[in-house]
Amino acid sequence: MAAQAGRDARLVGEPDRAAAPAALWLIGAFSHPLSLGARRLRAISAGTFLYAGLLLTEGVGLLRRRRWAEYFTVIVTGSFIPLELYELTRRISLIRFVVLAVNVAIVQYLLAVLGRPASAGRVGP
């Protein structure tokens, strides 16, 4: 009977001690970004806003099937390669290498598609 009461107490509302480290990790993960200064947060916000503008421009251009948007896509996608190379030089890992290889393959594919004549599958001005 006492064992049953103990199990019922855990189900009803006794805190789970195994969840405490996970909760503390979660609080720590969110407290670091929130402790940034106002100047740093403004810089991050401005960068995020500009990047969203780039993606919006690219998306609208591709949606309207504009030739300049295809070039823009290659430039934006290729612009991540130097950052990925920098990250790979900081610490070599399989995941970083795979991400770099995939991005290079995507840029090569985009350049191959861009090099095709307009009648070979692409439409638009």
User: Would you say the pTM of this structure is higher than 0.85?
Assistant: no
Percentage of the residues of the chain whose pLDDT score is greater than 90: 55
In single-letter form, the type of residue at position 22 comes to A
Q: What is the mean pLDDT of the chain?
A: 80
Token digits of residue 49: 């806003």
Task: Please state the rounded mean pLDDT for residues 95-107.
Answer: 94
Q: Which long-range contacts (CB under 8 A, 24 or more apart) does 107-116 make?
A: 107/74, 107/77, 107/78, 107/81, 110/70, 110/73, 110/74, 110/77, 111/74, 113/70, 114/70, 114/71, 114/74
User: Is the distance from CB of 47 to CB of 107 less than 8 angstroms?
Assistant: no
Identify the pLDDT of residue 51: 92
Residue 58 makes CB contacts below 8 A (sequence gap 6+) with: 69, 72, 73, 76
